[in-house]
Amino acid sequence: MIYLFINDMIFQSRVENELRNLDLKGKFVKSVDEVQETGKNTFAIFDLSEPTNLDNLKKFREKFSQIKTLAFLPHVNEELKQKAVALGCSSVMARFEFTKNMRAVLQGKWS
């Protein structure tokens, strides 16, 4: 299961299409309370352009420290990137990198 903390509806549709093409299960969520399944292949993706998602990332890392997390930023924002890394985010990338590599990212092929 891939938990997607992405609120932008246009971007959600792009991600949904790619999930469907890859035959993967993803769930768009707004809070950590919606996360239930935490199996071996579970990971979470956070859109840090959404102000509440840094807090969601913090809560997610506290509750599910063993699960990989990826965050993306709308553009290079070194301060926000450092905050995400300090919270234990597994990987942080620019939004354009996420978009460019969406197929691989959704398949869990990122470090």
Q: Given the structure tokens 């999930």, which residue do they identify?
A: 19
77, pLDDT greater than 90: no
Q: Are 73 and 81 contacting, i.e. CB atoms less than 8 angstroms apart?
A: yes
Residue 98 lies in a domain: yes
In Å, how far from its chain's centre is CA 71?
A: 5
Q: Which residues of 58-75 are buried (b: 16+ CB within 10 A; e: fewer)?
A: bebbeebeebbbbbbbee
Residue 23 lies in a domain: yes
Count of the separate structural domains present in the chain:
1
Alpha helices in 9-88 (DSSP H): 9-22, 53-63, 78-86
What domain range includes position 99? Answer: 2-106
Q: Which residues of 80-109 are buried (b: 16+ CB within 10 A; e: fewer)?
A: bbebbeebebbbbbebeebeeebeebbeee
Residue 48 lies in a domain: yes
Give 84-102 as a DSSP string: HHHTT-SEEEEHHHHHHTH
- Report the pLDDT value the prediction gives residue 76, as an integer from 0 to 100: 75
Residue 111 lies in a domain: no
- Report the pLDDT value the prediction gives residue 111, as an integer from 0 to 100: 65
Residue 45 lies in a domain: yes
pTM score, whole prediction: 0.94
Mean pLDDT, residues 68-91 taken together: 92
User: What's the CATH code of the domain at 54?
Assistant: 3.40.50.2300
- Report the pLDDT value the prediction gives residue 83, as an integer from 0 to 100: 95
Rg (CA), the chain: 13
